[in-house]
Amino acid sequence: METTATTRNSEMPKLKPREMELLVLRQLQLHGQKPIADQLGIDESTISRWKQGHIEQFCKFLAALGIQLAPPEAVLVRRDYLFSMETLAEIGMKAERMRPEPIGFN
């Protein structure tokens, strides 16, 4: 059986620090500085100061540690699960190509 599992790129795409910073700033804009500051128990002006380079620096720190951010709407799965699903899809497509008639015709 032919498999492409060994040829797949096991390295998943990673956000660059600048992309992470934009994600953080977008979420901050969506929620607003005041509610976030209140939730953290800090003054809103502290959040404003963070936007002047501290968020950028923190995103670089996360990237150096190999930690990735994900937007709230993202669905996260383990890499091995994703590869398993790809393999099952390939097997299913191969079986369908071998059918004598198109799907839905009897």
Residue 77 in 3-state DSSP? coil
> pLDDT of 3-54, one tens digit each?
444 455 556 678 899 999 999 999 999 999 999 999 999 999 999 999 998 9
> pLDDT of 48-97, one tens digit each?
999 998 999 999 999 999 898 887 788 888 888 989 999 999 999 998 88
pTM: 0.61
Taking the CA atoms of residue 7, residue 11, residue 13 and residue 14 in that order, the dihedral angle to the nearest 10 degrees is: -170
The answer to whether the beta carbons of residues 62 and 20 sit under 8 Å apart is yes
What is the model's pLDDT at position 5? 45
